[in-house]
Chain A
Amino acid sequence: MRVALFVTCINDTLRPRTGQAVVTLLERLGVEVDFPDAQSCCGQPQFNTGYRHATEPLVRRFDRAFADYEYVVTPSGSCAAMVRDNYPRIAARAAAEGRGRELAGAAARAVPKTYELTEFLVDVLGVTDVGAYYPHTVTYHPTCHGLRLLGLGDRPRRLLERVRGLTLKELPGAEECCGFGGTFAVKNPAVSAAMGADKVRAVTGTGAEAVCTVDNSCLLHLGGMLTRQGSPVRPVHLAEILASTEADAQRSGAAKEGVR
């Protein structure tokens, strides 16, 4: 099977190792991964801030970039939700404004082929045990878009539970927003920071070594807070956990030995 990776702009620029982890993981599961170079951003920051018109070229670009693929896999719950929830909406509004039905075709093609990583693993590949090894305590924060817009349900948990060596810690108030919300963090900094602080307190209270999500945007916000507080809790994308193996653990163990 051949799939296209939609790495998303945040991962591309700020967290390339998440994209690398997806490549490693999918190839290990026997999937051929391509990275169509013409891809860019899903348009979520523009759309959610009110610049709907600026997202129209990005809908077209998404459609063209992934035209040859049956599956587009992305390690970002909110970008998958952007495609699935808002592309049809953008198309419908454009049609209502008399700009033809061309966007409708693009949206109709994009929606059914776009999968968030855990959906792809569980629903398409039918695996929950991806052969990962991650000897750490981890707490899982189900991001709002993964939880409510995509309805990921227990897919991420089922994957995490099959990771050898991993101890999953329950996160109190898990379903509450972390307070990132894209430009919300900039436009309402006080409330965003208050929400983030409460979430970080919940995370730290679990005693876990790492907090994991299916969305790096939330992790950048939480990670930024954890760093500022000098907390040792690491933000880790789920893909990076699923890509880890015994060999990686040994290698990083050896590296540590070497340092000492």
Chain B
Amino acid sequence: MSRSFLGMPAFPRAAALSTRDTRLRANLTHATHTIRDKRAGAVAELDDWAQLRAAGAAIKDRTLRHLDHYLERLEESVTAAGGRVHWAADADEANRIVTRLVRETGEREVVKVKSMATQEIGLNEALAQAGIRAYETDLAELIVQLGDDLPSHILVPAIHRNRGEIRDIFRREMGRWGRPAPEGLSDSPAELAEAARLHLREKFLTAKVGISGANFMVAESGTLVVVESEGNGRMCLTLPETLISIVGIEKVVPTWQDLEVFLQLLPRSSTAERMNPYTTTWTGTTDGDGPRTFHLVLLDNGRTDTLADTVGRQALRCIRCSACLNVCPVYERAGGHAYGSPYPGPIGAILTPQLRGITGPLEQSLPYASSLCGACYEVCPVAIDIPEVLVHLRERVVEGGPVTRRGARVVLKPAKGHAAERAAMRAAAWAFDHPGALRGGMRLAARTRRLHPGRLPGPGRAWSDTRALPAVPAESFRDWWQRTRGGADRSRRGGVK
């Protein structure tokens, strides 16, 4: 994979382009509406969904509050089960560790199963630089990799592609990566899946090193939990001699019993299934069964900083189910690439700026990539109040304030380019707190209403390009009340001047 997310334009610009891509819009609308309706059905089957959701949020919150404790517990259990634990503070360190571990095996090829953490750190690119080729084995990831493309959805990274496009990519590219696509491949789902299966099987059977992520890590036993639909993850975990798993530190759950809650919440929220087809749990190493060497790379990369923010930390509860993407009207129109990170949609809009820091133009634009409609919060199985965090991050963008970067408390300066808005907001707030001045302004607006332009200049132009501006009426409500109710005393009683 030669592309990465770095250097993406800010959200509004990227979205303005993707919104015009009618094929993308059609693919996305179809896919997200289908899955969102199914999810609603699967969730409605359970009478205790609300309690499960609350339990999921509570377990995650408790774990995050004592994260240091559970991570140490996890390290002990993994070590006791024959694995080795490595700690990576940031992307560079994680990439260095993994590259070294692969080099030590003497191999130049690895098979990978979907791991968003590895996309987050740009592992494939780092491995490529070290002369190591990484093969994606998740079907959708394979499509993305063969298409020299970027993932655009958490669960279905190739959601922006339709079947015809996938057939073309397979026909064109498979041969360059291994077993070519069968002659005369059609765009029927069964034929596409079979082509991928044959192509991948070859990889599984020859690879000596597997790289994976995890949905959960159980602290008490050191168990890696991978939840999936295709079974490729299971092959990736069990066939190679060496397994390297890169896992964000927020993925730890204390006990097996806690897992019970998430194994109910996750499949219904993500694929609308009662139970996902494959749940693989893998603990350390066992003689004669599975990998002989197991490395767990625990990745921080901004997570501890996120944890330090009392409002924003709830983003770390996320179990990557993608339900919030599928209901998001903004995601549906803009597509996943506009979010400039492997975490698109509403969760991406709050996670990316927190993990990377709100300092670049993209990260500063993401908190505004939402109409605050609240649909994401409503579906989130761990009750992350995404709108609350969005507004909180907007405050950090426009007003600055205290944040934690690399473990140190720093005070962020307001982002550039908001000075005019800040002045306008303050002026409005002042006027709203001085009704006399407000009334004067309103009367002036009413009196000059014939002079008001039909289209706005400056930043308001985009608004008036597609929408007519509301006309200012001749008389405000305030003045109407004054005129018809005559400023009678009863309107004064509650008043302060």
Contacts and interface: CB of A to CB of B under 8 A. Distances in A.
Interface of A: 4, 7, 9, 11-17, 19-20, 32, 34-41, 43, 45-55, 57-58, 61, 64-69, 89, 96, 144-145, 148-149, 175-177, 179-197, 220-221, 223-225, 227-228
Contacts of B391: 47-48, 50, 52
The size bracket of the interface on B is 35 or more
B457 to A, nearest CB: 13
Given A40-B438, A186-B459, A225-B466, A49 B372 contact: no
A181 B394 CA distance: 14
A193 B466 contact: yes
Contacts of A40: 431-433, 435, 438
Contact of B16 (A11, A50, A190): A190
Contacts of A194: 19, 25, 333
A20 B477 contact: yes
B395 A51 contact: yes
Contacts of A192: 371
B12 interface: yes
Contacts of A193: 462, 465-467
B418 to A, nearest CB: 9
A191 B493 contact: no
A188 B374 contact: no
Contacts of A20: 477, 480
A191 B138 CA distance: 31
Given A35-B477, A65-B494, A221-B467, 8 more contacts: A14-B473, A16-B476, A36-B494, A43-B432, A89-B388, A180-B371, A185-B467, A225-B466
B86 interface: no
A57 to B, nearest CB: 5
29 contacts: A7-B477, A35-B491, A36-B493, A36-B495, A37-B435, A38-B435, A40-B438, A41-B432, A48-B394, A50-B394, A58-B433, A61-B496, A68-B494, A69-B494, A144-B374, A145-B374, A149-B374, A177-B329, A177-B371, A184-B372, A187-B12, A188-B369, A189-B462, A190-B462, A191-B330, A191-B334, A194-B19, A195-B329, A224-B468
Interface in B452-474: 459-460, 462-463, 465-470, 472-473
Nearest to B311: A93
A220 B470 contact: yes
Interface string B434-452: 0100100010010000000
Nearest to B487: A37
A48 B476 CA distance: 25
Contact of B470 (A7, A14, A61, A189): A14
A179 B329 contact: yes
Contacts of B330: 188, 191, 195
Given A61-B432, A68-B493, A148-B378, A191 B476 contact: no
B15 A12 contact: no
A187 B371 CA distance: 10
Contact of A37 (B445, B467, B469, B478): B478
B375 A228 contact: no
Contacts of B470: 14-15, 220, 223-224
A123 B478 CA distance: 28
Interface stretch (B286-294, B301-309, B420-428): B420-428
B375 A148 contact: yes
Contacts of A55: 429
A12 B470 CA distance: 13
Contacts of A38: 435, 494-497
A52 to B, nearest CB: 5
Contacts of B428: 41, 45-46, 54
Contact of B494 (A34, A57, A223): A34
Contacts of B485: 35
Contacts of B5: none
B492 A37 contact: yes
Contacts of B374: 144-145, 148-149
Q: What 4 A-B pairs are tightest by C-beta distance, nearest first?
A: A181-B371, A189-B462, A224-B467, A50-B394
B477 A12 contact: yes
**Residue among A11, A51, A96, A179 with the most chain B CB within 10 A?**
A51
Contacts of A48: 372, 391, 394
Contacts of A45: 425, 428
B490 interface: yes
A190 B473 contact: no
A191 B481 contact: no
A78 to B, nearest CB: 9
B260 interface: no
